[in-house]
């Protein structure tokens, strides 16, 4: 597929400077792009490549000032990074639209309801009373348990396992190897030291426009629902335990673990490798630094925390500054002790 600069500008609401008929068929990084490719410049660190790249078209910010002549056609937009993301999304949608139909072999229960323009890949399993909304893509080796609901224009990538009764909304992406609806970690200690399993009879609800990364696991609720709200973005390799709630437009980076029944608010950002204890309340707009260990609820909105146990970000930075100065402080204390000893010896004379 080829697109001209004029067509691309129309999609991203940009302004063309140069040859509006210049055409591209693929994308490239600005430092590596070749003729016939499109690149973008958002980070000033890469500005030097604007003048040397072989890319045919470059998306740049409106504020970009040219220090020398540029060979490529430019498309100027308010935010080059966001515009490039919009373009990639459109490109991916066009490619996804080419996928439809049911490949064989695949198992689809007779009670399943499959919408129009759906793609189901080879070796997929679609259980009893499953609903797959129109335009959705079920890639090979996906397992959809009984009574699973998949919304419209949702993509379930290869090897995803969605257990029974779980509900996935519209425009959701679930990447390869993710497991949704596995049992929550519920075991009752017995007097003899053994553990008795507590049946996990709830489900998982994923609302609209959610993205779930590869090999992420989301446990079903013991009772009720584990809930991922609209617009949430979950990275690869997350563990989300039973009855957790993740708020609207919250982003969680890789290797984070969230214990059972913790409620995370809207627009929260959690860095990689963070750990959250169970039954906590995390207020809207909270920012949790990577590798932080959160053991207590955060009830004040827009708070930033870091460390283990996690504390207020500013307090933590001050503590780290003091810690860095400890060797110098030690030397000052030693010097003061010597001086005090000398003074005491003179006084005794």
pLDDT > 70: percent of the chain: 100
Active-site residue identified among 100, 164, 175, 242: 242
pLDDT over 80 (residue 349): no
- State the SS3 of 121-136: CCCCEECCCCEECCCC
What residues contact 106, with CB distance under 8 A and at least 6 apart?
A: 120, 121, 122, 123, 124, 125, 126
pLDDT over 90 (residue 283): yes
pLDDT over 90 (residue 341): no
318 pLDDT band, cuts 50/70/90, is: confident
Q: Is 209 a catalytic residue?
A: no
pLDDT over 80 (residue 32): yes
CA Rg, the chain, in Å?
A: 27
pTM of the model: 0.85
What would the two tokens of residue 275 be? 């750990």
Looking from the CA of 242 toward its CB, the CA atoms found within 13 Å total 17
| Axis crossing angle, helix 5-12 with helix 80-97, rounded to the nearest 10 | 100
pLDDT over 80 (residue 1): no
Q: Which residue has the tokens 């070749």?
A: 34
**Mean of all residue pLDDT scores within the chain:** 95
In tens, the pLDDT along 51-105 reads 999 999 999 999 999 999 999 999 999 999 999 999 998 888 888 877 889 999 9
What residues contact 169, with CB distance under 8 A and at least 6 apart?
A: 151, 154, 205, 206, 207, 208, 209, 210, 230
Cβ proximity of 198 and 190 under 8 Å: no
The pLDDT, as a whole number, for residue 93 is 84
Cβ proximity of 275 and 253 under 8 Å: no
Beta bridge partners of 58: 39, 74
Domains of the chain, each with CATH number or no CATH: 3-97 (3.40.1390.10), 160-309 (2.160.10.10)
Q: Is 85 helix (H, G, I), strand (E, B) or coil?
A: helix
Q: Is 238 helix (H, G, I), strand (E, B) or coil?
A: coil
314 pLDDT band, cuts 50/70/90, is: confident
Residue 267: exposure state from Cβ atoms within 10 A (0-12, 13-18, ≥19) = middle
The pLDDT, as a whole number, for residue 296 is 96
The pLDDT, as a whole number, for residue 316 is 81
What residues contact 270, with CB distance under 8 A and at least 6 apart?
A: 250, 251, 252, 253, 256, 264, 276, 288
In tens, the pLDDT along 130-175 reads 999 999 999 999 999 999 999 999 999 999 999 999 999 999 999 9
Q: Dihedral of CA 330/335/338/339: which sign?
A: negative
In tens, the pLDDT along 184-224 reads 999 999 999 999 999 999 999 999 999 999 999 999 999 99
In tens, the pLDDT along 237-266 reads 999 999 999 999 999 999 999 999 999 999
pLDDT over 90 (residue 345): no
Q: Dihedral of CA 121/113/211/75: which sign?
A: positive
- What does the DSSP 8-state code read for residue 164? T
Query: Could you write out the DSSP letters of every residue in 181-213?
Result: EEPP--EEE-TTS-EEEPP---EEEE-TT-EE-
Residue 131 to residue 154: CA distance in whole angstroms: 12
pLDDT over 80 (residue 22): yes
């Amino acid at each position: 597929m080829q697109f001209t600069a004029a067509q691309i500008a129309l999609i991203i609401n940009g302004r063309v400077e140069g040859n509006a008929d210049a055409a591209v068929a693929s994308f490239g990084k600005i430092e590596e792009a070749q003729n016939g490719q499109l690149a973008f410049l958002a980070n000033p660190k890469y500005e030097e490549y604007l003048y040397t790249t072989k890319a045919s078209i470059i998306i740049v910010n409106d504020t970009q000032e040219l220090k020398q002549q540029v060979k490529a056609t430019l498309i100027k937009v308010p935010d080059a990074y966001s515009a490039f993301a919009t373009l990639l999304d459109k490109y991916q949608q066009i490619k996804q639209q080419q996928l439809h139909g049911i490949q064989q072999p695949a198992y689809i229960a007779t009670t399943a309801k499959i919408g129009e323009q759906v793609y189901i890949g080879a070796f997929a399993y679609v259980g009893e009373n499953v609903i797959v909304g129109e335009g959705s893509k079920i890639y090979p080796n996906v397992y959809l348990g009984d009574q699973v609901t998949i919304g419209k224009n949702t993509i379930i990538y290869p090897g995803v396992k969605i257990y029974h009764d779980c509900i996935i909304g519209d425009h959701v992406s679930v990447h390869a190897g993710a497991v949704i609806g596995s049992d929550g970690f519920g075991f009752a200690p017995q007097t003899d030291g053994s553990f008795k399993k507590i049946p996990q009879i709830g489900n998982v609800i994923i609302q609209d426009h959610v993205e779930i990364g590869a090999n992420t696991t989301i446990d079903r609720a013991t009772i009720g629902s584990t809930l991922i709200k609209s617009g949430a973005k979950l990275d690869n390799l997350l563990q989300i335990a039973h009855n957790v709630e993740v708020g609207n437009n919250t982003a969680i980076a890789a290797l984070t673990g969230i214990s059972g029944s913790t409620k995370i608010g809207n627009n929260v950002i959690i860095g990689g490798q963070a750990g959250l204890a169970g039954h906590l309340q995390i207020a809207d707009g909270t920012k949790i630094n990577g590798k932080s260990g959160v053991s207590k609820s955060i009830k004040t909105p827009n708070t930033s925390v870091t460390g283990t146990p996690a504390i207020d970000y500013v307090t933590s930075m001050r503590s780290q500054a003091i810690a860095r100065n400890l060797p110098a402080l030690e030397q000052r204390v030693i010097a003061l002790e010597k001086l005090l000893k000398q003074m005491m010896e003179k006084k005794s004379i």
